[in-house]
Amino acid sequence: MNWLMAQGHGAVVQVLGAGLLFGAIHGVWGLMGKSFRAAIGATVATGFLGMMLGIVFLLAGRSLAPCIVAHFAINLLIEPGLVLAATRGEMGSLRVRHATPIAQANQ
């Protein structure tokens, strides 16, 4: 983000750039598991997270400390469940169920 700022880009481009890079770097995990679908999901989800952390970076006066703390908290609280679900093969079997009377009758 600092590099983009030095190139004359505003906050929106900086945040989008952070999201793209953050997502691309984390999308590699899906490719390492030989799953293009997982790579796309990881890229989109972590790209959004990267943009949010980019906003935090700007709001914190360009300090990385709050971003590092947030990333650590996410890894500590959320990631273990994701890893367990992925290793158990539960990630591909998740289906969205609609809470409509027709959907409930068909269950």
Q: Which long-range contacts (CB under 8 A, 24 or more apart) does 34-43 make?
A: 37/92, 38/86, 38/91
- Cα→Cα distances 65→18, 51, 87, Å: 16, 16, 31
pTM confidence score: 0.74
pLDDT for residue 59 is more than 70: yes
Residue 103's pLDDT is 47
- Give the model confidence (pLDDT) of 75-101 as tens digits: 899 888 877 776 776 655 545 454 455
pLDDT for residue 3 is more than 70: yes
25 contacts 39 by C-beta, under 8 angstroms: no
**Can you give the residue ranges of every domain in the chain?**
2-106
Q: Tell me 64's DSSP state.
A: S
